[in-house]
Amino acid sequence: MTVAVVQFGGSNCDRDAVRALRYLDIDAERVWHEDGLPADTTGVVIPGGFSYGDYLRAGAMAARSPIMQEVRDAAADGKPVLGVCNGAQIGCESGLTEGAFTTNKSARFQCEHVHLRVERADTPWTENFEEGDVIEIPIAHGEGRFEITEERYDDLVDNDRVLFRYCDADGNVTDEANPNGSTHNVAGILGERDSVAVLMPHPERATLPDVGGIDGESILTGFRV
Partner 1 sequence: MTAYTATVTVRLKHGVLDPEAETTKQALERLGFELSELRSADRFEIDLEADDAAEAEERAESMAERLLANPTIHDYEVSAAPAAESA
Enumerate binding residues for partner 1 (CB under 8 A).
56-57, 60, 64, 92-93, 98-100, 102-107, 145, 147-149, 152, 181
CB atoms within 10 A of CB 155: 13
Burial 174-201, CB ≥16 within 10 A → b, else e: eeebbbbbbbebbbbbbbebbbbbbbbb
Q: What Rg, from alpha-carbon coordinates, does the chain have?
A: 16
| Residue 167 falls in the annotated catalytic set | no
Active-site residue (options: 93, 98, 119, 204): 204
Residue of 33, 115, 141, 202 marked active site: 202
204 counts as catalytic: yes
Pick 28 or 96: Cβ nearer partner 1 = 96
Residue 60 or 208: the one with the smaller Cβ distance to partner 1 is 60
Q: Which is nearer to partner 1, 105 or 224 (CB)?
A: 105
Q: Is the CB of 76 or the CB of 100 nearer to partner 1?
A: 100
Whole-angstrom distance, CA of residue 52 vs CA of residue 34: 14
Residue 202 annotated as catalytic: yes
Distance CA 31, CA 182 (A): 31
Could you tell me the smallest distance in angstroms from the CB atom of residue 149 to partner 1?
Answer: 7
Task: State in angstroms the smallest separation of the CB of 37 from partner 1.
Answer: 23
> How far, in Å, are 80, 83, 91 from residue 225 at the CA level?
9, 18, 22
Catalytic residue numbers, as ranges: 85, 202, 204
